[in-house]
Amino acid sequence: MTSEQGTVRATGRQVRPRTEGWSQKLDGEGRPALQFASPKRGKPPVHLADFTPEERVARVKELGFPGFRAKQLATHYFTHYTSDPVDMTDLPQAGREELVYGLMPNLLTEVRRLATDKGDTIKFLWRLHDGALVESVLMRYPGRITLCVSSQAGCGMNCPFCATGQAGLTRNMSAAEILEQVVRANRVIANGELGGKKKDDHSMERVSNIVFMGMGEPLANYNRVMHAVKTMVAPQPEGLGMSARGITVSTVGLVPAIRKLADEDIPVTFALSLHAPDDELRDELIPVNSRWKVDEALDAAREYFEKTKRRVSIEYALIKDMNDHPWRADLLAKKLNARGRGWVHVNPIPLNPTPGSVWTSSDVAVQNEFVRRLNDAGIPTTIRDTRGKDIDGACGQLVATEDDKAAAEAAPIV
């Protein structure tokens, strides 16, 4: 058999994406349902981190305080990672709580924390003001600390191999809810609660890298995600003073939003979750492929590179007998090389099985062959590690279970 590109398809077992143990939501025409719009729920409380510096001043004045207090509050939040009035001794005692709670309401209540044996990976389960649950994962690597953040409670993209997708979209997160995950992680690090630090390392530490690979499709919550990104890169104390290069925005491939992101002039790292180089399979594996096809998504990724000069990542979860065939590696290399050289690298990741999933990760020999073929074709390819797997904190495993919901209901409201 030959594909439309003329690549010879070796006969091999072809497992098709189908769901077992859970049922995928379908639309009126029987296709996997896609949810782009956030269901209407009560708005999260507004927070200093939702505002621009000018808006913060206006809000402080509205509450009857002098405008310069805004900068003091931002300094506490973005450089000392605190929103506790007790820590803010530079603010007059009278009215302090009113001011602080007025601008920094509680956004995330910690429900549960799971750590790996070494303690160098921590998964947090957070409850939002309305009871919605989200997770973030903090990981120490040599020379960097990465936080995997959520951008939505749930996800509307319905990818059958991803645990988050199975429950659908609860709602978009606000910019401040996204940023609060980083501030809370920085507080945990400052308190010495993230393990794996070398004894002789006395450097001040904080989150250096952010990946939008937690729950949600970041580009389906575009404006709030962009406000969060802009605040991450704004210099302290206006923002977190992070480097844009250390921030990775990962998407299923919402093409118009990819173009918009490229025009923002913020050189974040861009990752496309491709997972299949052919529409036949990708239509089923990534339901949004019914809107934007493989070639359109790859063209948008290439344009992202041209505008930003930032090398793009292609994410590829290797699923046994489904998308791990040698001919697919060749077809992927061919499609990437057709769009130029040196603009892209591929990040295969062994599938992390999710509850109810009947699929497994590819055999190591098959993974290695997949990588070898891409590398031989001149595409830099490195397998991504599956950190946090033992605490269900690896890619695609983030989900709020019924247990979590019970725990969240029992957790005290701070």
CA distance to 223, 301, 332, 338, 374, per residue, from 327 (Å): 39, 22, 8, 16, 11
- DSSP structure class, residue 251: E
Please indicate whether residue 155 is annotated as part of the active site.
no
First to last CA, the chain: 62
- Output the six-digit token pair for 267: 């050189």
- Minimal distance in Å, beta carbon 64 to ligand SAH? 42
Q: Quick one: how far is CA 364 from the chain centroid?
A: 26
| Run of H or E including 42 | none
Q: CB-based contacts of 200: which residues, under 8 Å, 6+ apart?
A: none
Coil, strand, or helix at residue 123?
A: strand
What residues are paired with 131 via a beta bridge? none
Is the CB of 116 or the CB of 357 nearer to ligand SAH?
A: 357
Cα gap 177→171, rounded to integer Å: 12
Is the CB of 102 or the CB of 353 nearer to ligand SAH?
A: 353
* Catalytic residue of the set 135, 177, 217, 315: 135
Please indicate whether residue 395 is annotated as part of the active site.
yes
Name the one range near ligand SAH by CB under 6 A: 105-113, 247-255, 294-302, 322-330. Answer: 247-255
Name the one range near ligand SAH by CB under 6 A: 61-69, 138-146, 246-254, 336-344. Answer: 246-254
Is the CB of 209 or the CB of 251 nearer to ligand SAH?
A: 251
**Does 250 participate in binding ligand SAH (rule CB under 6 A)?**
yes
Phi then psi dihedrals of residue 229, to 5 deg: -60, -45
Q: Quick one: how far is CA 106 from the chain centroid?
A: 22
**Does 352 participate in binding ligand SAH (rule CB under 6 A)?**
yes
Cα gap 274→96, rounded to integer Å: 50
Cα gap 284→137, rounded to integer Å: 28
Is the CB of 83 or the CB of 273 nearer to ligand SAH?
A: 273
Kindly write out the interface string for residues 85-104 of this chain, putting x where it contacts ligand SAH by CB under 6 A and - elsewhere: --------------------
Q: Which residue's C-beta sits nearest to ligand SAH?
A: 396
Cα gap 367→43, rounded to integer Å: 45
- Interface residue with ligand SAH among 175, 344, 395, 399 (CB under 6 A) is 395
- Interface residue with ligand SAH among 169, 188, 333, 351 (CB under 6 A) is 351
- Interface residue with ligand SAH among 174, 396, 399, 408 (CB under 6 A) is 396
- Minimal distance in Å, beta carbon 89 to ligand SAH? 41
According to CB under 6 A, which residues from 296 to 315 bind ligand SAH? 315
According to CB under 6 A, which residues from 158 to 187 bind ligand SAH? 161-162
Is the CB of 74 or the CB of 137 nearer to ligand SAH?
A: 137
Coil, strand, or helix at residue 134?
A: strand
Residues that bind ligand SAH (CB under 6 A): 157, 161-162, 213, 217, 250-252, 273, 315, 317, 349, 351-352, 354, 395-396
Active site residues: 135, 395
